[in-house]
Structure 1
């Protein structure tokens, strides 16, 4: 396992941060969050994938595995840079404090980002130093930035439709059509590149501040990519697609704790033979880029590197699928050959885990995950998820972005979770109260205390659990459609008393 001292932290996606422009940003509010973490004695900030989101706003269905989400660009930082003016920001309408309205927010922010990009590009024309910095960025990131900027520009020209619904010559990357688009969409392409310049410059400042405070950033890589992404459009040969660019088979998971019909994610599956033939170069680039931004990477759905659930694209659910083996050993050996033996990876090994998955993880020295919520069920404790049983080499959680909050889990009824009967709900509550030995009034703190006291090298809780919030504040419900990923908080919700209690628990457990 990669080296890290006994430590703890909070799971919070940047989009959930406070701020007046409709969504959490990576400017002053994110720096304030780092200061809060430091005051609480926390050494870890875990977040979800940072890429630009498409339909549904899921960070796990990104338009690029390499780009940053322009919705997170700080408008206050752009004002400080002189590309947005105070009078511009005064025109931005009020947005809800506790929820992201993605459609309205993106519409407004896109207009002001376009204005900022236009001013910035004009400044580049008048400032050799600024022009050099921008050109150096574009050259350094050219391997992914050229395709991404072209993808976004053409997508905009085609009303936002998925790439396989564009005119065929553009969808199939006909050289003459692409050359024509480069000329026709030059302005849009340059604006996309400018957005990425803004994002990565702001992110570098945030990452540097985290390092000053001794806080490690934990990022997240979805194992699969979205079909409607620059990744698949630029390299269709690396994915299982038909002659029209549509997926032949798609990814998901079979029926499990979260869903009776499984989860049909819809991501195209990798053509692993093509990746192996190139020495896994695409994966090396992907991991290397992510580790430029963060210090540790959680890889979502790690079990897919041992075997993945293959679903025919025509199937409406994940029920009718099959397990197919994957070249996990060859991939991780290639990654270690590029980055050294101790790659800072956390393996998300939840769900249906067979011995081959555990063996793969242990062979390559990746810590797995333990989620305390999974310890409780029909009047019994699941031995693997009881905090007293956690090994040193794991990352322990009260819950994750896919779980209900601790208070939500305890207080939810049958209608809110179709996988549990009334008897199961009551049995789970009895088990929780029996384990904690409490009346349940402070249950979120009981969970945090138990996870923090465990032997697990790293302990993490979602901010919602620190605040004791209910189901209305959960981030996502796997396998369901709905208004997810939109939760936000305000600074007054994170009281000095909460911060002091978190610091005390952290000090008592030896994690500071």
Structure 2
């Protein structure tokens, strides 16, 4: 069962890809170290991140080929130099000369792959021994993922249900083992990427924790259909004998999207998961808590009831709610992981049943300031009603920025914000947020700086232009340390680094 600490906290939401550097995408190198320095200078406790998993064609970290693997593009060229795996000249050649405010994923993927293949060719016996030990510890997921990634590569990126060799498509153990023997070096390279990602990430986590900074991770409730997780564990998903998804996940129409959202993820076979004592979910949360101090579970309401959309439907409007596993799942999780630190993302269409479910789990839910001033909403959504056992945000990765939201207010809503906060401006809203009862407040870095709509991370229901915004070094240098330090002091959220 989750426990409140009684300590008021604050933090920033910063995706790794948004960190500034000269390599085209943020990574675990010096820019991450500098961001830790910003957090401590402002008196923040927490760094919240988006999922660190590999990204596909749309670059969404919520649609990944693995729930466990890391995005190799976050592996720092600088740290590879420190390890003696690449030369300074090779690191320099990996620099990006294009637009520093957006990620060019195709360019970064190609250039980082070249660099990492050079690094792999130079690993010595000591490194290989450590890598082998890591692969053994993580074999529950890494064996499946390494095989899946290489087979998919050999099949020119086709999804597993489109592979021409049925035994491989069905993840037959003998066929997969035979394939891995034939492609031993390619499989070994995937293990190298996984190990180096983990090595660099835990170096960063150690630095963060040394400075008293908690790292908050993000676990999407669903996994992608074309993923190692589904391919190797299809008994836990609603997949027909002919490998078709009859229904897919999503959400009904809401504030974000008038047609709802059809995510396309396979739905869980909760009966099969229960028969296995929910081991798959316990391992997934356990892995998250190995990498982070706390994890946010996205779309938490899907455990109480989930939205099932016919796979052939054009929009989510044709979906319907289906009962989920509820308390049975979380009672089992808490027995296995009694000290699990979890934040429940309870946004969207929430009813009394979901509220009761969340309350009984004891987990903190979420409040979003931008949703607290609906002229036709409930008074219980106002900031003064935020529960102590909750996390309050100015906005999430799916929202526009606070300044962007303010600019789009109509006259009535602007007056409500003015009356409530003492002004319809960013700093008045931040002060209002910091004053709430919520034990923890988190704001995107965009709201530290007062950036507009062009700095948003994601616009739900749209294709293209998402998950690519990056900060410049000069922008991060402009964060007002004194302002946030004072805000944290005034409202009991001040943190002094233990270092």
TM-score by length of 1: 0.93
* Correspondence for 2:18: 16
Task: Tell me, yes or no, if structure 1 residue 472 matches structure 2 residue 454.
Answer: yes
The structure 1 residue matched to 2:250, chosen from 243, 249, 252, is 252
The structure 1 residue matched to 2:405, chosen from 390, 409, 430, is 409
Distance in 2 separating the partners of 1:194 and 1:336: 33
Once the two structures are TM-superposed, the CA of residue 148 in structure 1 deviates from its matched residue by 0.5
For residues 67-106 of structure 1, the aligned pairs below 5 Å read 67-92=69-94, 93-106=96-109
Once the two structures are TM-superposed, the CA of residue 437 in structure 1 deviates from its matched residue by 2.8
Structure 1 counterpart SS, 2:458? coil
Structure 2 counterpart SS, 1:220? strand
Distance in 2 separating the partners of 1:495 and 1:174: 53
* Correspondence for 1:490: 472
Structure 1 counterpart SS, 2:264? strand
C-alpha root-mean-square deviation of aligned residues, in Å? 1.5
Once the two structures are TM-superposed, the CA of residue 482 in structure 1 deviates from its matched residue by 2.2
- For the 8 Å contact 2:64–2:227, the answer to whether it is kept is yes
Task: Tell me, yes or no, if structure 1 residue 427 matches structure 2 residue 419.
Answer: no
Once the two structures are TM-superposed, the CA of residue 433 in structure 1 deviates from its matched residue by 3.0
Once the two structures are TM-superposed, the CA of residue 157 in structure 1 deviates from its matched residue by 1.0
Q: Which runs of 4+ in 1 moved over 6 A?
A: none
* Correspondence for 1:229: 227
Distance in 1 separating the partners of 2:43 and 2:332: 36
- For the 8 Å contact 2:251–2:316, the answer to whether it is kept is yes
* Correspondence for 2:34: 32
* Correspondence for 2:497: none
Distance in 2 separating the partners of 1:475 and 1:493: 16
- For the 8 Å contact 2:448–2:479, the answer to whether it is kept is no
Once the two structures are TM-superposed, the CA of residue 408 in structure 1 deviates from its matched residue by 0.8
* Correspondence for 1:437: 422
Q: 1:273-293: CA deviations, max 9, x gaps?
A: 110000001101100000001
Structure 1 counterpart SS, 2:277? coil
Q: 1:351-388: CA deviations, max 9, x gaps?
A: 1111111111111110111111001234x664233222
Change (3 A) 1:276 1:198: same
Q: 1:140-168: CA deviations, max 9, x gaps?
A: 00110001011111111111222212223
* Correspondence for 2:393: 397
Structure 2 counterpart SS, 1:351? coil
Structure 2 counterpart SS, 1:83? coil
Structure 1 counterpart SS, 2:406? helix
Q: 1:470-503: CA deviations, max 9, x gaps?
A: 0000011112222101111022112456121111
Q: 1:416-460: CA deviations, max 9, x gaps?
A: xxxxxxxx734333332333333x4xx222222111111110011
* Correspondence for 2:68: 66
Change (3 A) 1:381 1:247: closer
Distance in 1 separating the partners of 2:205 and 2:157: 32
Distance in 2 separating the partners of 1:188 and 1:347: 38
- For the 8 Å contact 2:259–2:315, the answer to whether it is kept is yes
The structure 2 residue matched to 1:147, chosen from 119, 144, 169, is 144
* Correspondence for 1:194: 192
Change (3 A) 1:455 1:107: same
Distance in 1 separating the partners of 2:416 and 2:4: 35
Distance in 2 separating the partners of 1:324 and 1:269: 11
* Correspondence for 1:132: 129
Task: Tell me, yes or no, if structure 1 residue 452 matches structure 2 residue 454.
Answer: no
Q: 1:78-135: CA deviations, max 9, x gaps?
A: 1111111112123224242111111221122122122212222xx2xxx3x3232111
Moved more, 358-367 or 159-168: 159-168
Change (3 A) 1:392 1:171: same
TM-score by length of 2: 0.95
* Correspondence for 1:242: 240
Structure 2 unaligned residues grouped into runs of 5+? 495-499
- For the 8 Å contact 1:155–1:161, the answer to whether it is kept is yes
